[in-house]
Chains A and B, each alone.
Chain A
């Protein structure tokens, strides 16, 4: 048992778990036809059937309750702050499954030349506001109230001492919906992670309806009709948001160190994390030279990497595997789409480099631009 726990602790380290999740992701949520055929061959679409769903939920919930036998795991998930977050994650899983099931059902129906499940005959698609809708709303409202009252009685609010600027709780955590942002702050310059990225995320989400103007699949759940979009969105949602919230809520312990799910939150856990910039990594460690004085020369490798990532890869893709897509989108839309996707991809790349080689900044021009 202890070895199993230890193995899980090791595997849950972000460099392992994130990589595994990111690779598995594209088979579970295939972005292209090729991936989809692999997905079918591995029978992963079975997850989105009723049986598959029951098994999935049974596994996750079973593993969760089995884990609560472990005192360290229990101590974390039963904190009054964390109970609702755990519930929320189960809810996320359920609704993810539900919508994917509906999408797959519709895909199957459309393949058989049937109309999607959500289709209703316009002549009879009327619903009365009173009583049908109002009753549903009333019942939903009452249930919410009951849940809130129960919650507020059952889980005590953590009342603490009056604010003291010289005392930060250890670990100091943002509310759960910001934990993804807090996790981002660990890897990036505060100005970028706190201001620029959130703005890009919001503007990016706002621009979605203008980028994706293809009518296919609108008005009903479907996957096959819009693989690339659903897959990319799910990548951002599940891996860059939900995953980071899980890590932030349950796996970041004292001193913001990383702790496995069955690890004790030891205040004195020693982790060596000495940072290094890409410039010193290449100039000093690889080339055995002192850092050049000229900032541009010093940072040229990082700048070249950034340029390659944002300026070379998108055109390359447009000429190769995304040729048809590019032709449909046109220049401007493709450029915006690619900028957003490449930015979303660069985030985990940078985090991964920090986890593995403690890279601080790819380009470090202090006081001006650190990435």
Chain B
């Protein structure tokens, strides 16, 4: 015991002397347990780097978690078949789950109705027996042509661009929409005349 104390005292003295006279080379100053300053600093760097990496990973995972697990951009244009495939007065739910579109054949035109409720965005259901679209979230209802008449929805369903291609097949383009309250439902691209 006495020995080791003596040792330490010697070491301290040596270190002190070294510093005072600048004789001991940088990085070789021995600390109490034989670790050099250089190795200490490199361990600190490694440690902090690992910590930062962990936090970064955690942050990345968290950010990823905020992004929902859905496919964002399904195809925006699709061919919906010939006009003759739709009976007069029919609301076709054929493209509902794939593209979110009802093809509706009204008296004088075929239109592509969006399946997004204008209230808060749920998907209404077509009730054939009552001839209306009814939303399951807060009970808004829309007539066959898309006009809202029940519940809280503030405006009619939107219609999307629909046109005939060279082969006479209807093409729906969801990137363009037409709103009734802006008086856009008579624009030529919003329907295919029959």
Contact = CB atoms under 8 A, between A and B. Distances in A.
Interface of A: 162-172, 182, 185-190, 193-194, 254-257, 268, 270, 273-275, 366-367, 370
Contacts of A187: 152
18 contacts: A163-B70, A165-B100, A168-B137, A171-B137, A172-B137, A185-B152, A186-B151, A187-B152, A190-B119, A190-B154, A194-B120, A255-B127, A255-B135, A256-B136, A270-B130, A273-B151, A275-B149, A275-B150
Interface in B95-148: 96-98, 100, 115, 119-120, 122-125, 127, 129-130, 134-139, 141
B181 interface: yes
B139 A255 contact: yes
A370 B154 contact: yes
A187 B154 CA distance: 11
B129 A268 contact: yes
A163 B100 contact: no
A145 B126 CA distance: 45
A349 to B, nearest CB: 17
Nearest to B136: A170
A189 B100 CA distance: 24
Does more than half of chain B's interface fall in helix, strand or loop, or is it mixed?
Answer: loop
Nearest to A165: B70
Nearest to B100: A166
Does more than half of chain A's interface fall in helix, strand or loop, or is it mixed?
Answer: loop
- Among A162, A165, A190: residue with most chain B CB under 10 A: A165
A186 B150 contact: no
Contacts of B69: 162-163
Interface of B: 68-70, 96-98, 100, 115, 119-120, 122-125, 127, 129-130, 134-139, 141, 149-152, 154-155, 181
B154 A274 contact: no
Nearest to B128: A268
Contacts of B98: 166
Given A256-B138, A256-B139, A274-B150, 15 more contacts: A168-B123, A168-B136, A171-B136, A172-B122, A182-B137, A186-B138, A189-B152, A190-B120, A193-B152, A255-B136, A256-B136, A256-B137, A257-B139, A268-B129, A366-B181
B123 A167 contact: yes
Contacts of B138: 182, 185-186, 256
Given A172-B136, A256-B135, A270-B130, A165 B154 contact: no
Contacts of B149: 274-275
Nearest to A173: B137
A190 B134 contact: no
Contacts of A194: 120
A128 B100 CA distance: 64
B152 A188 contact: yes
Contacts of B97: 164, 166-167
Contacts of A162: 69
Nearest to A367: B181
Nearest to B71: A165
B93 to A, nearest CB: 10
Contacts of A163: 68-70
Contacts of B96: 166
Contacts of B124: 168
Contacts of B154: 189-190, 366, 370
Contacts of B141: 273
Contacts of B120: 185, 190, 194
Contacts of A193: 152
- Among A182, A255, A275: residue with most chain B CB under 10 A: A255
